[in-house]
Amino acid sequence: MTRALTLGTILGCDLRLHWSWPLLPVGAAAYSLAVLPWPQAMFQVLLLLAMYLCVAAREAVQLLAARSLGLGTRDVTLYPFWAVGRPTRLSERPWQENYIAATGPVFLALVATVLGGGLSLAGRSVWGFPQGVPEPTVGAFFVHLFWANVLLAALHCLPLLPLDGGRVFRASLAMTASRLQATEVAAALGTFGAAILLVAAILWFKSPLMGVTAILLYLGAQEDLGTTRYFAGIRHERGEGGPTPAVMVPMDQIVTADCRPSEVNFTGFTWNARARLWIEWRDGQAVCANALIGDGRP
């Protein structure tokens, strides 16, 4: 992941912030203060930060889901309304990605359910979508946070990379095609969806936030596609007798227990965190290690 700041660790993996994560609240604050009284402007910024916390909690749940399947995660990069985790294993048949990605919108729906139930018990109706400028009250804040989680869950159900729905769509395609082919189809659909969202933001909703989200969706889909093409290019060069690695190291010194795949006939890449290398596997056999991308974008 490029243009990301490492903050620390979460559940054993690096936690990073995409450049858009801190800039969006600043931009939202400036825009809100320009068009709204300061109490309503601060209300909007606090609501955005609360959504950030929900997104971070959603990613923690997905990390736990990956860990329950025995899958590690190198690092997690937080975007405003989603997060991208880089796994320690890339398979040509990543069926487990379906389960991990599906936990995202399910968690957001559960958060919305808890908020809605609590508001109902407090005598506050949540069935009407908030209209107009909100009153800066505690009740109104939680009503808006309820609807924010509903909209986030709906957003992540869309089959657009890098959203959870896009990951499910890509993983489903990868069960009958290569990961590269599945990613190319998912990225094309993501680009089309981002374009529609951008047009809607400009022409109908007049929402700068929706427009920024559409642009970030497009960039995220292209980054995912670029990473997948990078790995596919490595495999293609190796298959055609491409350039040999600059440093030759015996494979028995590189392949350790923590980077060995559990599948007998695994084909793909696993990450060796200690050596900072990607190990390529074909039919359960380690064939090479790539040091060029150990600390790079993929």
The two tokens of residue 227 are 């990473």
Residue 205 lies in a domain: yes
Domain stop point among 194, 211, 237: 237
Dist CA 245 CA 291 (whole Å): 8
The two tokens of residue 228 are 């997948």
148 & 272 share domain = no
Domain count, the chain: 2
pLDDT of residue 10: 77
**pTM of the full structure:** 0.83
207 & 232 share domain = yes
120 & 249 share domain = no
252 & 226 share domain = no
Residue 298 lies in a domain: no
254 & 210 share domain = no
Residue 172 lies in a domain: yes
pLDDT (tens digit, 9 = 90+) per residue, 75-127? 889 998 998 888 888 777 778 889 999 999 999 999 999 999 999 998 888 88
Residue 177 lies in a domain: yes
67 & 133 share domain = yes
10 & 147 share domain = yes
Nearest C-alpha neighbor of 288 from the set 256, 253, 252, 251: 251
Residue 295 lies in a domain: no
Q: Is the pLDDT of residue 240 over 60?
A: no
Provide φ and ψ at 206, rounded to 5°. Answer: 50, 45
**Bridge-partner residues for 89, per DSSP?**
270
117 & 77 share domain = yes
- HSE-up of residue 119 (Cα within 13 Å, Cβ side): 21
271 & 133 share domain = no
175 & 98 share domain = yes
Residue 297 lies in a domain: no
152 & 261 share domain = no
Residue 107 lies in a domain: yes
**Bridge-partner residues for 15, per DSSP?**
8, 76
Q: Is the pLDDT of residue 298 over 70?
A: no
Share of the chain above pLDDT 90, in %: 39
- In this prediction, residue 290 has a pLDDT band, given cuts at 50, 70 and 90, of confident
Domain residue limits at 148: 4-237
148 & 258 share domain = no
CA separation, residue 93 to residues 89, 266, 277, 289 (Å) = 11, 9, 21, 20
